Structure 1
Amino acid sequence: MTRIETDHKITSNSQKQLFDFLTDLNNFEKLMPQDKIEKWSSDENQCEFTIKGMARIGLKKESQTEHELIKISSFGKVPFSFNLDIHIAEKPNNGAEAYMVFEGDINPFMKMMVVKPLTNFFNMLVTKASEIKL
């Protein structure tokens, strides 16, 4: 199992605001690099998109712990199965800290090629989530 933990990012949004935003997977489109994503479709509980020139990715919300944790898993014809946990903690002065933990079943050969791009991608997502004004 390959594990990637993103940088921890602080936001001026409250824990509740960030949680409410991220539990609606329609909002993930706002976090994605528009020049690298195509064929986006989503509803509140799942989203699917194609990374240009690569694979179609499906994300499905599995569970949530109010204001603290969102558990997402892969679905569809993804190159490998994975889970993505989004952690949100309250910070002083009505702010919040967020980070993501990815765990995927990646074979050793593919792991060498995808760990760095995945790390950069998930760090970009958590950075954009922390910068959005809600």
Structure 2
Amino acid sequence: MNLESPKVTLDKSAEETFNFLSDVKNFETLMPENISKFEVLDNDKFLFALKGMPEIVLKKKEEIPHSKIVLGAAGGKLDFSLIGHITEVEANKSDVQLTFSGEFNAMMAMMIKGPINKFIETLVTNMKTAI
């Protein structure tokens, strides 16, 4: 299953955007209002939970300076990635798009597609004010 957020344009350089997203503690400011728990576990790993959902641990898996950050599931039963694509538009403007990628059975995919789509849309929308 592959999902894409809308692309958002930020009034920040690709470097500033990348640096913000590289610091996992900053993800707390991007989370939806229905977050029930957020905890930084390491300098490259954090745990979060949304109301009514199980806790999820994300770990930074890959970085390509100023253009891409890959967060992946750290343990648990589900294997997926959340990828931030950053594109420099101008000196102080960058586009950001999140993609979610994971292998799920048809039943699971049907159940989680809507909530995950909404989740990644919220993350990129909140970037406009957080970064």
TM > 0.5 fold call: yes
Q: Tell me the percent identity.
A: 33
Partners of 2:91 and 2:15 in 1: CA distance: 13
- Count how many residue pairs are aligned between Structure 1 and Structure 2: 130
Two-structure CA RMSD over aligned residues (Å): 1.4
Corresponding residue of 1:75? 74
Partners of 1:89 and 1:132 in 2: CA distance: 18
Change in Cα spacing, 1:129 to 1:44, as seen in structure 2 (3 Å) is: farther
Q: CA deviation at 1:93?
A: 4.8
SS of 2:120's equivalent in the other structure is helix
Corresponding residue of 1:86? 84
Select which of 18, 36, 39 maps to 1:38.
36
- Runs of 4+ in structure 1 off by over 2 angstroms are 130-133
Q: CA deviation at 1:50?
A: 1.7
Q: CA deviation at 1:119?
A: 0.7
Which residue identity is paired with 1:77? G
CA displacement 1:104-128 (0-9 Å, x = unmatched):
1221011112111111110110111
Q: Unaligned stretches of 5+ in structure 1?
A: none
- 8 Å CA contact 1:86, 1:101 repeated in 2: yes
Corresponding residue of 1:48? 47
SS of 2:84's equivalent in the other structure is strand
Q: Unaligned stretches of 5+ in structure 2?
A: none
Which residue identity is paired with 1:40? F
Q: TM-score, normalised by structure 1?
A: 0.90
- 8 Å CA contact 2:13, 2:90 repeated in 1: no
Which residue identity is paired with 2:15? K
Partners of 1:123 and 1:84 in 2: CA distance: 12
> Where does 1:1-134 land on structure 2 (aligned, <5 Å)?
2-34=1-33, 36-42=34-40, 43-78=42-77, 80-133=78-131
CA displacement 1:18-53 (0-9 Å, x = unmatched):
11000011000011124x222321143111012222
Which residue identity is paired with 1:115? K
